[in-house]
Amino acid sequence: MNLYSYIFRRLLYIIPVLLGVCLVIFVLFNLVAPDPAYTLLGKHATLKQIADLHHELGTDKPYLFQYLDTVKTAFTFNFGYSWTSKQNIWEMIKAGAGPSLAITGPLFVLSNIFAISLALLVAFYRGKLIDKVVLILSIAGMSIPSLAVVLFGQWFFAFKLGLFEISGYENGFPNFIPYVILPILLYVVISFGGDTRFYRTVILDEAYQDYVRTARSKGLSELRVMFKHVLKNSMIPILTQIIIQIPGLILGLLFAESFFSIPGLGAMTINAINNSDFPVIKAMTIMSAVGFIVFNVITDVLYTVVDPRMKLK
């Protein structure tokens, strides 16, 4: 099979997966969830009011049509209106994306650079003391609840020591910087353990391959073996891991945004949960799933383009 037909088939596979995601969302929100009428109208609504609301929300239609409505939103991103703020959800998402990206963007770059360089360093000195120390630190880092890190970090560094802004946000490029530094640093700490451990494993997987032994027996220096041979080959899983993080960036950070009062999408989701705002949660679920599916395909396709050994199945 040639590359183009593989890519085409891979793209086609988006359709059943997307339909499946819509099915899960439909089952959750339209079948399992309690009738929204009681949430919206309270206990003393008349039957007429309830019927009107059902008609307005489209929940009086047969299930098949309700499902098709869900599918339609996945393609049009026309999510309707929030129940609490009555705003258009797509506009809300657009407004929240900026502040979220202001944290997740730098965080994504910083945490990956940090974890990959550290992983390279310990892979270079594998089995030595520094390797063991970093490994223990990463496992310990993975074991601390992230909420505790955020709470403690905000209290200690911002409240107690007054080094950073406690909370708040300002729009515009240089203005937001003082508000996002602390959340970013805290999340670098939170993600460091898992990331470093993952990248270390990936690099070490390559370090014991036959071609590495060959390179060494040719008399190449350890540094050259590491960067020219090992790193190049471990680039594929590393890149996959990096790309797959991208759709998550838009979701924002659930804890940090609400604690630091950053008006991003993470905070929006939390608000929606607190106010039983079904359409907003549904919208965020659909949007994140679509993002994930698209980037998953991109990764798969890149994989085959980058690595000629990949079999096209």
Partner 1 sequence: MSADIKQSKSLLQNAFIRIINEKISLIALIIVAIYFLVAILTAANILASDWGKEVGASYMAPSSVSYFGTDIFGRSVLQKTIKATETAVVIGVVVSAISIVIGTTLGMIAGYFGGFVDEIVVWFYTTFSSIPGVMLLVAIAFILGKGTTTVFLSLGLTSWVGLCRIVRAEVMKHKEREYIHAANAIGATHGRKLWKHILPNISHLLIINFTQTFDSAIKAEVVLSFLGLGVVGRPSWGTMIDDSKLELARGVWWQLAAATLAMFLIVLAFNILGDALRDALDPKLKGK
Report how far residue 271's alpha carbon sits from residue 5's, in angstroms, rounded to the nearest whole number: 44
Q: CB of residue 79 vs partner 1: minimum separation in angstroms?
A: 14
Exposed e or buried b for every residue in 195-215, given b needs 16+ CB within 10 A? bbbbbbebbbebbeeeebeeb
Binding to partner 1 by CB under 8 A, coded x per residue (else -) over 104-143, reads: -----------------------------------xx-xx
Tokens 């107690």 map to which residue?
160
If binding is defined by CB under 8 A, does position 281 make contact with partner 1?
yes
CA–CA separation, 262 and 103 (whole Å): 9
| 296 forms part of the interface with partner 1 (CB under 8 A) | yes
Q: From CA 143, how far away is CA 154, in angstroms rounded? A: 19
Sign of CA dihedral 254, 255, 256, 262: positive
Structure tokens of 46? 């008349």
102 vs 265 by CB, closer to partner 1? 265
168 binds partner 1 (CB under 8 A): no
Tell me: does residue 32 bind partner 1 (CB under 8 A). yes
Q: How many CB atoms lie within 10 A of CB 130?
A: 14
- Per CB under 8 A, the list member of 109, 144, 163, 305 interacting with partner 1 is 144
Residue 270 interacting with partner 1 (CB under 8 A):
yes
Does the protein bind partner 1 through residue 190 (CB under 8 A)? no
Q: Is 174 buried (19+), middle (13-18) or exposed (0-12) by CB count in 10 A? A: exposed
Residue from 3, 28, 51, 133 that binds partner 1 (CB under 8 A)?
28
CA–CA distance, 59 with 190 (Å, rounded to integer): 42
The angle formed by the CA atoms of residues 28, 34 and 35, to the nearest 5 degrees, is 115
Is residue 248 at the binding interface for partner 1, with CB under 8 A as the rule? yes
Q: Is position 37 an interface residue for partner 1 (rule: CB under 8 A)?
A: no
Q: Is 196 in the site for partner 1 (CB under 8 A)?
A: no
Tokens of 155: 């209290």
Contact between 170 and 176 (Cβ < 8 Å):
yes
Which position among 128, 274, 307, 312 is part of the footprint of partner 1 (CB under 8 A)? Answer: 274
Identify which of residues 188 and 289 has a Cβ nearer to partner 1 in the complex.
289
- Of the candidates 81, 189, 102, which has an alpha carbon nearest to the alpha carbon of residue 143? 189
Nearer to partner 1, 115 or 176 (CB): 115
Q: Which residues bind partner 1 (CB under 8 A)?
A: 16-17, 20-21, 23-25, 28-29, 32-34, 139-140, 142-148, 151-152, 154-155, 159, 201, 204-205, 247-248, 251, 254-255, 259, 269-270, 273-274, 276, 281-282, 284-285, 288-289, 292-293, 296
